[in-house]
Amino acid sequence: MITVLRLGHRPARDKRVTTHVGLVARCFGASRMVITTRDDELVSRIQSVNDRFGSNFSVEYQRNWKNYIRSFDGIVVHLTMYGEKLGEVAGRIGHDGDLLVVVGSEKVPKEVYHLATYNVAVGNQPHSEVAALALFLDRYTGGAWEKEELGGKLKIMPSARGKKVETVS
Protein backbone atom coordinates (compact mmCIF):
# COMPACT_ATOMS: atom_id res chain seq x y z
CA MET A 1 0.00 0.00 0.00
CA ILE A 2 1.27 3.46 -0.93
CA THR A 3 0.46 6.51 1.20
CA VAL A 4 1.32 10.09 0.26
CA LEU A 5 2.03 12.52 3.10
CA ARG A 6 1.51 16.11 2.00
CA LEU A 7 3.41 18.39 4.37
CA GLY A 8 2.62 22.03 5.04
CA HIS A 9 -0.77 22.20 3.35
CA ARG A 10 -2.41 25.58 3.93
CA PRO A 11 -6.03 25.41 2.73
CA ALA A 12 -6.25 28.91 1.23
CA ARG A 13 -2.87 29.11 -0.44
CA ASP A 14 -2.47 25.47 -1.46
CA LYS A 15 -6.03 24.57 -2.36
CA ARG A 16 -5.34 23.80 -5.98
CA VAL A 17 -1.85 22.35 -5.68
CA THR A 18 -2.82 19.96 -2.86
CA THR A 19 -5.85 18.87 -4.89
CA HIS A 20 -3.47 18.07 -7.74
CA VAL A 21 -1.21 16.14 -5.34
CA GLY A 22 -4.22 14.12 -4.14
CA LEU A 23 -5.54 13.39 -7.62
CA VAL A 24 -2.09 12.38 -8.84
CA ALA A 25 -1.64 10.12 -5.82
CA ARG A 26 -5.04 8.53 -6.53
CA CYS A 27 -4.38 8.08 -10.25
CA PHE A 28 -0.80 6.80 -10.05
CA GLY A 29 -1.22 4.04 -7.50
CA ALA A 30 -1.45 5.43 -3.95
CA SER A 31 -4.33 4.47 -1.65
CA ARG A 32 -4.47 7.58 0.47
CA MET A 33 -3.13 11.05 1.14
CA VAL A 34 -2.42 12.29 4.63
CA ILE A 35 -2.60 16.03 5.34
CA THR A 36 -1.52 17.75 8.55
CA THR A 37 -4.09 20.56 8.45
CA ARG A 38 -7.80 19.83 8.49
CA ASP A 39 -9.48 20.63 5.18
CA ASP A 40 -13.00 19.28 4.74
CA GLU A 41 -13.42 20.93 1.36
CA LEU A 42 -10.40 19.12 0.01
CA VAL A 43 -11.73 15.82 1.36
CA SER A 44 -15.05 16.32 -0.42
CA ARG A 45 -13.40 17.43 -3.64
CA ILE A 46 -11.43 14.19 -3.82
CA GLN A 47 -14.42 12.15 -2.65
CA SER A 48 -16.47 13.57 -5.48
CA VAL A 49 -13.87 12.37 -7.99
CA ASN A 50 -13.98 8.89 -6.41
CA ASP A 51 -17.78 8.90 -6.64
CA ARG A 52 -17.69 9.61 -10.35
CA PHE A 53 -14.46 7.99 -11.54
CA GLY A 54 -13.89 5.15 -9.07
CA SER A 55 -11.38 4.05 -6.40
CA ASN A 56 -11.54 4.24 -2.61
CA PHE A 57 -8.71 6.72 -2.35
CA SER A 58 -8.95 8.51 1.00
CA VAL A 59 -7.73 11.76 2.51
CA GLU A 60 -6.85 11.58 6.19
CA TYR A 61 -5.81 14.10 8.77
CA GLN A 62 -2.87 13.59 11.15
CA ARG A 63 -1.90 16.47 13.38
CA ASN A 64 1.66 15.42 14.07
CA TRP A 65 3.65 14.64 10.93
CA LYS A 66 6.81 13.83 12.89
CA ASN A 67 5.13 11.09 14.91
CA TYR A 68 3.36 9.91 11.82
CA ILE A 69 6.60 9.41 9.88
CA ARG A 70 8.42 7.94 12.90
CA SER A 71 5.73 5.36 13.54
CA PHE A 72 5.25 4.47 9.87
CA ASP A 73 5.99 0.78 9.39
CA GLY A 74 7.62 0.68 5.97
CA ILE A 75 9.89 2.59 3.60
CA VAL A 76 9.76 6.38 3.67
CA VAL A 77 10.66 8.24 0.47
CA HIS A 78 10.97 12.02 0.67
CA LEU A 79 10.80 13.75 -2.70
CA THR A 80 13.16 16.73 -2.80
CA MET A 81 15.31 18.36 -5.46
CA TYR A 82 18.24 17.96 -3.05
CA GLY A 83 17.99 14.18 -2.96
CA GLU A 84 19.68 11.36 -4.83
CA LYS A 85 18.87 11.04 -8.50
CA LEU A 86 15.70 9.03 -9.13
CA GLY A 87 17.40 6.94 -11.83
CA GLU A 88 20.15 5.92 -9.44
CA VAL A 89 18.12 5.27 -6.30
CA ALA A 90 14.94 3.74 -7.78
CA GLY A 91 16.39 0.24 -8.04
CA ARG A 92 17.32 0.23 -4.33
CA ILE A 93 13.85 1.03 -3.04
CA GLY A 94 12.17 -2.19 -1.99
CA HIS A 95 8.70 -3.28 -3.09
CA ASP A 96 7.84 -5.41 -0.06
CA GLY A 97 5.64 -3.82 2.55
CA ASP A 98 4.22 -0.34 2.71
CA LEU A 99 5.59 2.84 1.20
CA LEU A 100 5.17 6.39 2.44
CA VAL A 101 5.96 9.14 -0.06
CA VAL A 102 6.49 12.54 1.55
CA VAL A 103 6.02 15.71 -0.49
CA GLY A 104 6.43 19.20 0.93
CA SER A 105 5.24 22.57 -0.19
CA GLU A 106 7.61 25.53 0.08
CA LYS A 107 9.82 24.92 3.10
CA VAL A 108 10.37 21.42 4.42
CA PRO A 109 11.67 21.00 8.00
CA LYS A 110 15.21 19.64 8.18
CA GLU A 111 14.11 16.62 10.21
CA VAL A 112 12.28 15.20 7.21
CA TYR A 113 15.59 14.61 5.44
CA HIS A 114 16.71 12.51 8.40
CA LEU A 115 13.47 10.65 9.07
CA ALA A 116 13.24 9.50 5.44
CA THR A 117 14.69 6.19 4.35
CA TYR A 118 15.51 7.78 0.99
CA ASN A 119 15.64 11.39 -0.17
CA VAL A 120 14.88 11.24 -3.87
CA ALA A 121 15.24 13.95 -6.49
CA VAL A 122 13.12 13.84 -9.61
CA GLY A 123 15.65 16.14 -11.26
CA ASN A 124 17.96 18.34 -9.16
CA GLN A 125 16.08 21.43 -10.31
CA PRO A 126 13.18 23.34 -8.79
CA HIS A 127 9.88 22.38 -10.40
CA SER A 128 6.77 20.89 -8.81
CA GLU A 129 5.87 18.38 -6.13
CA VAL A 130 2.94 17.36 -8.33
CA ALA A 131 5.24 16.42 -11.21
CA ALA A 132 7.77 14.82 -8.88
CA LEU A 133 5.09 12.62 -7.33
CA ALA A 134 3.72 11.54 -10.73
CA LEU A 135 7.14 10.61 -12.09
CA PHE A 136 8.23 8.89 -8.91
CA LEU A 137 5.06 6.75 -8.78
CA ASP A 138 5.36 6.05 -12.50
CA ARG A 139 8.86 4.65 -12.05
CA TYR A 140 8.12 2.90 -8.75
CA THR A 141 5.05 1.08 -10.08
CA GLY A 142 6.58 0.40 -13.50
CA GLY A 143 3.93 2.51 -15.21
CA ALA A 144 1.05 0.46 -13.76
CA TRP A 145 -1.30 3.48 -14.12
CA GLU A 146 -1.34 2.98 -17.90
CA LYS A 147 -3.32 -0.23 -17.42
CA GLU A 148 -5.21 0.40 -14.22
CA GLU A 149 -9.00 0.66 -14.22
CA LEU A 150 -10.47 2.42 -11.21
CA GLY A 151 -14.00 1.16 -11.84
CA GLY A 152 -16.03 4.37 -11.65
CA LYS A 153 -19.58 5.15 -12.73
CA LEU A 154 -18.11 7.31 -15.46
CA LYS A 155 -15.58 5.86 -17.82
CA ILE A 156 -13.67 8.02 -20.25
CA MET A 157 -13.13 6.30 -23.58
CA PRO A 158 -9.84 7.27 -25.25
CA SER A 159 -10.61 9.36 -28.31
CA ALA A 160 -8.68 11.11 -31.06
CA ARG A 161 -11.13 14.07 -31.06
CA GLY A 162 -13.63 15.37 -28.53
CA LYS A 163 -14.99 13.70 -25.42
CA LYS A 164 -16.40 10.21 -25.07
CA VAL A 165 -17.71 9.25 -21.65
CA GLU A 166 -19.59 6.05 -20.86
CA THR A 167 -21.90 5.71 -17.91
CA VAL A 168 -21.43 2.31 -16.34
CA SER A 169 -24.60 1.00 -14.71
124-143: which residues touch a second copy (CB under 8 A)? 124-128, 130-131, 133-135, 138, 143
How big is the site for a second copy, counted in residues (CB under 8 A)? 53
Q: Is the dihedral of CA 164, 49, 53, 27 positive or negative?
A: positive
Nearer to a second copy, 20 or 36 (CB): 20
Which one of residues 4, 34, 119, 140 is an interface residue with a second copy (CB under 8 A)? 119
State how far the Cα of 60 lies from the Cα of 40, in Å rounded to an integer.
10
Secondary structure E strands in 7-52: 32-35
**20 near a second copy, rule: CB under 8 A:** yes
**13 near a second copy, rule: CB under 8 A:** yes
**158 near a second copy, rule: CB under 8 A:** yes
CA geometry: angle 83, 140, 123, nearest 5 deg: 35
Beta bridge partners of 155: 166
53, 70, 113 from 121: Cα distances, Å:
31, 21, 12
Residues that bind a second copy (CB under 8 A): 13-14, 16-17, 20, 23-24, 26-28, 49, 53, 81-88, 110, 113-114, 118-119, 121, 123-128, 130-131, 133-135, 138, 143, 145-146, 150, 155-165
